[in-house]
Amino acid sequence: MSRPTADSSSQYTPALIVRQASPPNLETPFYALDGRITPQPSHYVRSHFPVPPLDAQTWRLEVGGGVDSVLSLSLEELRAMPSHTLSATMECAGNGRVYLSPRMPGVQWDLGAVGTAEWTGVRLRDVLERAGIQDGALEVILEGADKGTLTDPGRTPGEIRYARSAPLAKAQDDVLLAYAMNGQPLTPDHGFPLRAVVPGWYGMAAVKWLSKLHVTDTPYQGFFQTIDYSYWQQRDGLSPQMIPMTTMQVKAQIARPAPHGSVTAESVFEIMGAAWTGEGEVTKVEVSTDGGEAWADAKFLDPAEPHIWRRWRFDWHTPKQPGRVTLMARATDSAGRTQTPGHDAGRGGYMVNFPLPITVYVKAQES
Q: Domain extents for the chain? A: 17-51+58-244, 251-363
Q: What is the largest CA-CA distance in the chain?
A: 78
Residue 2 has pLDDT above 70, yes or no: no
Q: What is the pLDDT of residue 13?
A: 59
Task: Give the type of residue at 307.
Answer: H
Read off the pTM.
0.94
CA-wise closest residue to 199 among 94, 300, 118: 118
CATH of 251-363, one of 2.40.50.100, 2.60.40.650, 3.40.50.300, 3.30.565.10: 2.60.40.650
CA dist 289 → 27, 79, 222, 336 (Å): 26, 50, 44, 23
Q: What is the pLDDT of residues 95-105, one digit of tens each?
A: 999 999 999 99
Q: What is the pLDDT of residue 25?
A: 97
Q: What is the pLDDT of residue 10?
A: 37
CB 350 within 8 A of CB 245: yes
Q: What's the alpha-carbon Rg for the chain, to the nearest Å?
A: 21
What band does 152 get if pLDDT is binned at 50, 70 and 90?
A: confident
For residue 248, the number of C-alpha atoms closer than 13 Å in the C-beta half-sphere is 37
Residue 323 has pLDDT above 90, yes or no: yes
CB 201 within 8 A of CB 138: no
3-state secondary structure of 141: strand
Q: What is the pLDDT of residues 202-256, one digit of tens each?
A: 999 999 999 999 999 999 999 999 999 999 998 888 999 999 999 999 999 999 9
CA-wise closest residue to 177 among 78, 88, 72, 90: 78
**Span 173-200, mean pLDDT?**
98
Class of domain 17-51+58-244: alpha beta
CA distance 13 to 2: 24
Q: Across all residues in the chain, what is the average pLDDT? A: 95
The alpha carbon torsion through 172, 175, 178, 180 (nearest 10 deg) reads 130
**Span 281-308, mean pLDDT?**
97
Q: What is the pLDDT of residue 9?
A: 35
CA distance 117 to 97: 23
CB 282 within 8 A of CB 59: no
What band does 366 get if pLDDT is binned at 50, 70 and 90?
A: confident
CA-wise closest residue to 48 among 177, 145, 115: 145
Q: What is the pLDDT of residue 154?
A: 87
Q: Is 353 left (phi over 0), alpha (psi -120 to 50) or beta?
A: alpha
**Span 297-316, mean pLDDT?**
98
CA distance 92 to 98: 13
CA-wise closest residue to 93 among 189, 191, 197, 230: 230
Residue 363 has pLDDT above 90, yes or no: yes
